[in-house]
Structure 1
Amino acid sequence: MEGQHELRQEMVVTQQKVVLRPHPHLFTRGIIAVLALTTPVFAVLYWLTIPDGGWPLVLGIHIAVIVATTLAVLAFFSTVIQLGPDGVRERGFFGRTVEVRPGAVGTVQLIDLYEGSTLDTQPQLFVTGTDGRVLIRMRGQFWAVEDMERVAEELDVPITRRTESMTLTELRRSSPELLYWFERFPHVGR
């Protein structure tokens, strides 16, 4: 009886999913930025339009900004990566869902990319399929390095680590297939 209880408990543990979320400070910074940008602008617009009667238009635009901000907040909180016994499931900011089974992974690469024209680097994890197509991309601006390591462990594929940091231009030349379409063209992403 006790052995059966241990087996049942082990089955429950192996079927649990681990949920990874983006850095929480991004939410705080985003809300502060929206408030810092919109509050003074709308205060001035209301001050200028209330005497003339044009304030309903300003109110409509203000409501539209609030709705857009609310949608962005909901999108942020629904952005997750779930690790489970059946693989990795990512739900991105724009709602796109990708499911990656361990057998479908070709490579997992961890690359430190320079940020713009600085000496600061950010890690980026690229999970590619057996066909070379990028399945999941985790950027250090949004995800912790520990989360990237957990995703790689879950997929049970060895991580290829570049020993030297790279610029976006170097990555564009060596592995353009890892980048988003707009990053492949140097003048479009600017």
Structure 2
Amino acid sequence: MSEQTDVDRDAGAARVTVLRPHRHLFTRGIVAVLALTTPVFAVVYWLTIPGPGWPFVLAAHLVVIAATVVGVASFLNTTISVGRDGVRERGFFGRTVHVAPGEAGAVILVQVYESSTLDVLPQLFVASDQGRLLIRMRGQFWSQADMERVIEELDVPVTRPEEPMTLNQLRRTWPRLLYWFERARLGR
């Protein structure tokens, strides 16, 4: 479950709820980085320490550590804030999107099949009146409760297809809401 934080602004004037991605993703990411880099660097250090090549290995190791620190900071700063002034998303790469009250034209909450399985995860799409994607929340990162909280704040009629959809069905129904690489049909 994702973490929620209530923050008071101006001595209780407006309440803002801060939603955060699933915490288990952070743990999995750190474990994956350690599992992939530790054995590799241990072997490379062991092979290069007697010779002159070890400073290059150390430099590469420091680059990997720096990239990991940047990734950790980006994950910890990824939030969706929900309050009276609308919904504000700060994405993994630092992009901030603010959806003011009345700006959202469509909200779609759909259950999507996960690649070649019968498992489904929710995806929430918030689009403008012109159909431009404003905010997307995927079930891999956000809980259903977080999505419902965003829906509640936007106060826009929600489209909830009754049956789960495949990516192909989603592509045919709402292509503009998908990322560019999801719109491409790779295997026909």
TM-score (norm 1): 0.91
State whether residues 112 and 165 of structure 1, in contact with CA within 8 Å, keep that contact through their aligned partners in structure 2: yes
Partner of 2:67: 68
- TM-aligned CA deviation for residue 173 of structure 1: 1.3
Identity %: 64
Residue of structure 2 in register with 1:43 after alignment: 42
CA distance in 2, matches of 1:94, 1:150: 23
Secondary structure at the counterpart of residue 127 of structure 1 = strand
Within 5 Å, give how 1:27-176 maps onto structure 2: 27-176=26-175
Deviations 1:14-40 (A, max 9, x none): 512110000000000000000000000
Q: CA deviation at 1:12?
A: 4.8
Name 1:183's counterpart in structure 2. Answer: 182
Residue aligned with 1:22, SS:
strand
Cα distance in 2 for residues equivalent to 1:13 and 1:150? 20
Question: In 2 relative to 1, CA 139–59 (structure 1 residues): closer, same or farther, beyond 3 Å?
Answer: same
Q: Which runs of 5+ in 1 are unaligned?
A: 1-10
1:36 and 1:138 map into 2 onto residues whose CA distance is: 29
* Equivalent position amino acid for 1:77 in 2: L
Checking the alignment, whether the CA contact within 8 Å between 1:14 and 1:85 is kept in structure 2 is: no
What SS is found at the alignment partner of 2:51? coil
| Aligned alpha-carbon RMSD (Å) | 1.5
Instruction: Tell which structure's C-alpha radius of gyration is larger.
Output: 1
Q: Which runs of 5+ in 2 are unaligned?
A: 1-9
- 2:40 maps to a residue whose letter is V
Aligned to 1:23: 22
Q: How does the TM-score come out when normalised to structure 2? A: 0.92
Distance apart, 1:60 and its partner CA: 0.3
Aligned-pair distance for 1:187? 2.2
Residue equivalent to 1:3: none
What SS does structure 2 have at the residue aligned with 1:126? Answer: strand
